[in-house]
């Protein structure tokens, strides 16, 4: 871990999102204008990994690029594919209780994506700018 990045292996447990936010706090500068948004997106991605993936642990990585003014968050889990989540198509979107994490990434992140690591798992990442 350096001042510009941090990586942590966290147990795949409901408290993992809170632990991931603490990792983000180690990297985000005190005057970071996108810290709250980064915390929200990181929590969503971690929660998806906890809920939908297998394995005992997930990996969280957070980095800041001072030159670009960007923060990147990423979560690795051992499930190579993306789950369909709560979207069955039968329920109106405004009545769904879960399943909006990817919508948040799409709406709030400058960019985001999924990078598979063969059949070993995937990284779900996002980037925010303007800190």
State pTM to two decimals: 0.85
For residues 124 and 46, give the distance between their C-alpha atoms in angstroms, rounded to a whole number: 9
Those residues whose C-beta lies under 8 Å from the C-beta of residue 7, and which sit 6 or more positions away, are 1, 23, 59, 60, 61, 62
Summarize pLDDT for 113-131 with one digit per residue, the tens: 999 999 999 999 999 998 7
How many domains does the chain divide into?
1
Tokens 């642990």 found at: 57
If one compares 56 and 97, the residue with the highest pLDDT of the two is: 56
**Two tokens, residue 11:** 């147990």
How much is the pLDDT for 83?
Answer: 63
Kindly tell me if the per-residue pLDDT of 28 is higher than 80. yes
Mean pLDDT in residue range 12-40: 94
CA dihedral of 102, 104, 105, 109, whole degrees rounded to 10: 170
> Could you tell me the pLDDT band of residue 99, with boundaries at 50, 70 and 90?
low
If one compares 68 and 1, the residue with the highest pLDDT of the two is: 68
If one compares 26 and 131, the residue with the highest pLDDT of the two is: 26
- CATH code where residue 60 lies: 3.30.565.10
Structural domain harbouring 30: 5-129
């Amino acid at each position: 871990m350096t001042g510009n990045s941090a990586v942590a292996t966290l147990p795949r447990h409901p408290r993992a999102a809170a632990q991931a936010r603490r990792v983000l706090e180690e990297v985000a500068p005190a005057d970071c204008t996108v810290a709250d948004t980064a915390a929200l997106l990181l929590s969503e991605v971690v929660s998806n990994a906890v809920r939908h993936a297998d394995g005992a642990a997930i990996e969280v990585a957070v980095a800041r690029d001072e030159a670009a003014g960007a923060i990147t968050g990423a979560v690795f889990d051992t499930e190579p594919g993306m789950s369909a989540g709560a979207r069955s198509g039968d329920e109106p979107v405004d009545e769904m209780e879960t399943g909006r994490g990817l919508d948040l990434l799409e709406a709030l992140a400058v960019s985001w994506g999924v990078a598979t690591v063969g059949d070993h798992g995937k990284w779900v990442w996002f980037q925010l700018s303007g800190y």
